[in-house]
Structure 1
């Protein structure tokens, strides 16, 4: 393993800094040449460089070591870049009038002396950062064969003392943090709709638990569940029409499915056990949840229409907070033995579990939309922070927030 570190310089615009604590020895050398900027207010090439570096897959060339700064394929002397031991390079330029910009870039194979990828796209001034992340996604997919996740967003809960709780959403690199809602009472369990337009969450603002659905574009929100007792752990169905949730209105906590249009409830589990933390399979046919019906928390699977449940986990004394990868091939979870809680990954074909993190207080795992990374919460010295780990465990990141405690991360679809 190798250790890498990258810190954002524009701290006033970022909610966090990202430290790559472990990368891969086979990182590909890539040079992102500073784009000919044309007066653009955002340094697109710097964002692309940062995105690719923090993925852990690439070894980025220091811009101060570049002997030239070509903006197009025709300006490149490939022998110079071969001598610098670069496998790939990115060149580009930005032109515009202050409101609208034309962004061009090319991904080049240094040793084949040719273009692998080239795009030209229009962007408003406000969308230049989003355009940069889109470029990073395109480059990442071309070089790795995996979809990029740089254009995504993350939701999380921050707390600074007993009187300040916020649900926030930020870009995947920590920039553009926006407060969705705030409360002097606790906020919990943010969950993204699969179109990325709404978030469901739990709020205690009325002195008891209630589940809300909030539209991000206009801030409109609706209270969808406030039954006596527990109202918790909302999870969106893939089609966005239903929420799986935990309710204790009939006694013990059980898993229900709420139809958001009709407000009808379907009760999936019954008995005296604690059933909680539901999460849908990608095709919407089943729900994984945590139950202590076997004596200690383990993961179970049940049809989203109801029926008999099936126990999934047997290894370890504690398995909870399960959620599927976007392709349904894996299930991430909190895997515990004794007083150590780490992030585990189950291969759904073999049912074997691999442990990805070192603990001892890791929780709330959430897959990246491309399925390559898992975002999770951890604690050290009583302070909560976020981390991310690749599904093979080789790449790890620590997300350090500027202030306060952060927990319960959720990566947008």
Structure 2
């Protein structure tokens, strides 16, 4: 795989383990694991407007102006970011007991109306109440009351947004899920966990050496990633709740690009311990390791299909990096068993399969690095998701309706969420940080 000169070349070269890159000797970790949440400097911007969106009005909640975190703005941003809803201007303040004049809201063009309140209780907790109205039918669709600690107010708002999306569309929202990503700045690397809108972030690891390739376990309780703190690439698995972690792949050569099996019992990793970088299956219960790919090329960046039947991966066995797949139970050394998946363009990397198994997202180099989306049923050609040209690491939301990837927008590093058709794109901006390696976590209880 040829050396690259763009700003993300270190990441891409390391995933391939082809160039023998290592980092300097690691120092001790800075800071405690999983400290209390710190508000990141993000701003949500909508870059496109999709068609056939449901018009919804979210009125300011009564009492929220007295809280550090108003509820209605979070709901509005969540609903718009989903790509399913279009906001209708909603002046004034109303609560769940208000009786809206339905004809007025019909006149404004709303199909749905959300009202509510947020009240601080004597013990400091917040009582959040909301009610949903079907404006078209003039029906009260009911609501809910939740009491949460003040620190969980944003999470409560995200969960309400998901409930609203489920009630209005029949499909689950993803606002209460989490994302992971890595930042580089001030001579240090940090692994972050944040809400799906990029706020409420926590720092899980700080190191003077690179951290790359975060990958969520299917239950959302663990993260696998690659750390250079030992002076070489080592695959680590870390508990999200308490920060405890262990090394699972530290053989000679490079250890990189971990990905979880759907049952959470195995990792596929890229190792160069026996020569060229190849894929190996690692059993996390027994620490047993078994070679999975057999080629004279570089095989890396594996990902499982949701049903666990296939492993998709990147290989340059055809002369340039392309995406292939192989049955997950096939440990034969027959190179012909791997099927090539991408044929458009000479350089395709970073495969991601949607949780519903319908889509393949990847990065194509053609005058820049662009996120592409291809149907896996053979029903059409791959199409670019957006118009950016410095993309990396696409990752699907757990409802398969959105993509998260790193790119540049207006001269800054951003994490971008996008609908699959690219009609609604939302940059999550981080001030003064180089942002990379995003991974969208699964649904969790």
Give me the TM-score of the superposition, normalised by structure 2.
0.84
Asked if 1:160 corresponds to 2:160, the answer is no
Question: Equivalent residue of 2:377, what SS?
Answer: coil
| Contact map agreement 1:257 1:265 (CA 8 A) in 2 | yes
Q: CA deviation at 1:58?
A: 2.7
**Range moving further from structure 2, 375-384 or 120-129:** 375-384
Q: CA deviation at 1:335?
A: 2.0
Asked if 1:341 corresponds to 2:369, the answer is yes
| Contact map agreement 1:299 1:312 (CA 8 A) in 2 | yes
User: What is aligned with 1:13?
Assistant: 39
| Contact map agreement 1:98 1:125 (CA 8 A) in 2 | no
Asked if 1:246 corresponds to 2:263, the answer is no
CA distance in 2, matches of 1:112, 1:316: 51
User: What is aligned with 2:62?
Assistant: 36
Q: CA deviation at 1:193?
A: 0.8
User: What is aligned with 1:395?
Assistant: 424
Runs of at least 5 residues in structure 2 that lack an aligned partner in the other structure: 1-37
Asked if 1:140 corresponds to 2:168, the answer is no
CA distance in 2, matches of 1:228, 1:309: 26
CA distance in 1, matches of 2:149, 2:427: 32
Quote the RMSD (CA, aligned, Å).
2.0
Q: Which has the higher contact order (CA 8 A, sep 6+)?
A: 2
4+ residue stretches of structure 1 with deviation over 6 A? none
| Contact map agreement 1:81 1:110 (CA 8 A) in 2 | yes
CA distance in 2, matches of 1:20, 1:310: 38
Match of 1:97 among 117, 122, 125: 122
Question: Equivalent residue of 1:129, what SS?
Answer: helix
Asked if 1:303 corresponds to 2:301, the answer is no
CA distance in 2, matches of 1:22, 1:406: 22
User: What is aligned with 2:82?
Assistant: 55
Match of 2:136 among 111, 115, 125: 111
| Contact map agreement 1:290 1:300 (CA 8 A) in 2 | yes
Distance change >3 Å, CA 199–CA 388, structure 1 → 2: same
| Contact map agreement 2:82 2:419 (CA 8 A) in 1 | no
Cα displacement string for residues 130-185 of structure 1 (whole angstroms, at most 9, x for unaligned residues): 11100001112233333211111111110115x21111111112221111101111
| Contact map agreement 2:74 2:158 (CA 8 A) in 1 | yes
User: What is aligned with 2:415?
Assistant: 386
**Range moving further from structure 2, 343-352 or 326-335:** 343-352
User: What is aligned with 2:32?
Assistant: none
User: What is aligned with 1:8?
Assistant: none
Q: CA deviation at 1:319?
A: 1.5
Cα displacement string for residues 53-102 of structure 1 (whole angstroms, at most 9, x for unaligned residues): 33343332344x34xx3323652222232233322110123343334444
Q: CA deviation at 1:29?
A: 2.7
CA distance in 2, matches of 1:160, 1:276: 27
User: What is aligned with 1:149?
Assistant: 174
Question: Equivalent residue of 1:105, what SS?
Answer: strand
CA distance in 1, matches of 2:102, 2:50: 26
Query: Residues 227-306 of structure 1 correspond to what in structure 2 (within 5 A)?
Result: 227-306=251-330
Q: CA deviation at 1:109?
A: 1.2
Q: CA deviation at 1:237?
A: 1.3
| Contact map agreement 1:17 1:174 (CA 8 A) in 2 | no
Give the structure with the larger strand fraction. 1
CA distance in 2, matches of 1:97, 1:194: 39
User: What is aligned with 1:213?
Assistant: 237
| Contact map agreement 2:131 2:143 (CA 8 A) in 1 | yes
Q: CA deviation at 1:40?
A: 5.4
